[in-house]
Amino acid sequence: MIGFQGVLGGLTVTQLLRFDIVTAHLGTALLFFSAMLIMGTALLPYTSTGTVGQLPWLGLGATAIVYGQCLLGGLVGSRWAARQCFGLGELCQVMNSHLLGIVPATLAVLGLTWVVWRTPALSYPLRRLGSLASTWLVFQLVMGIATFRLRLQVEPLTVIHHTLGAALVGTLVCFTTLAWRDALSRDRAALSHPDYAQKA
Ligand code: HEM
């Protein structure tokens, strides 16, 4: 992955910031970041409570939706779509696709946090990560709206918006990895102790 990212980085320069290559560069960076987080989270000591239910799938879905929203944001940035839409009324459909993407991303993250809060006896790390995801989301929405309303004039806001997008993806990746670990160790316990399966 890092080799592929290096090639994309080179192409970004030689192809003079071609938008599809820049967006692929952002997408691969997030995948590489996620791979590191999955490896780290898989190695953490973790005691399963066996109460995760559908949370592994909800986590996976929310991660995919927010990842897609980041790619749409990357397209807006690399095509200069926001500036073109404000100034010339062009490429507004690219800008609007990122704005529309807010709806599924927000619903997925808030829905995940809601289920986390309503799940009894969930492990402490999953509870914390579930709440953290919604905290990042709120900051991200505020930063996105500020970037948009100030018409990209305040560069640190754009950088923070980019960074919070990565933080949100990272938090969801860690949540999903731990939720799958929880679910898989529950299944393993059920296989080795049929009594446990009956009780669960
Ligand atoms: C879950 C919510 C959101 C996520 C995950 C997200 C993620 C991103 C990402 C990763 C970028 C690319 C930044 C870059 O390449 O430097 C971006 C760009 C952008 N986003 Fe968002 N965003 C979200 C919500 C919003 C909202 C609510 C708005 C405004 C109402 C917004 C407006 C923008 C704009 C204007 C850009 C382009 C910045 C530029 O041209 O450099 N975003 N977004």
Cα-to-centroid distance, 54 and ligand 1 (Å)? 29
Domain ranges of the chain: 2-199
Q: What share of the chain is helix, strand, coil (3-state, %, to 5)?
A: 85, 0, 15
The ligand 1 atom at the shortest distance from the C-alpha of residue 137 is 1
Instruction: Report how far apart, in Å, the C-alpha atoms of 131 and of each of 9, 98, 109, 124 are.
Output: 34, 24, 9, 11
User: What is the chain's pLDDT, residue by residue, as a tens digit (200 residues)?
Assistant: 999 999 999 999 999 999 999 999 999 999 999 999 999 999 999 999 999 999 999 999 999 999 999 999 999 999 999 989 988 999 999 999 999 999 999 999 999 999 999 999 999 999 999 999 999 999 999 999 999 999 888 999 999 999 999 999 999 999 999 999 999 987 777 777 666 555 55
Q: Which of 147, 151, 161 to mutate to test the pocket of ligand 1 (most atoms within 8 A of CB)?
A: 161
- Cβ(139) to ligand 1 under 6 A? no
Burial of 185 (0-12, 13-18, 19+ CB in 10 A): middle
The ligand 1 atom at the shortest distance from the C-alpha of residue 169 is 5
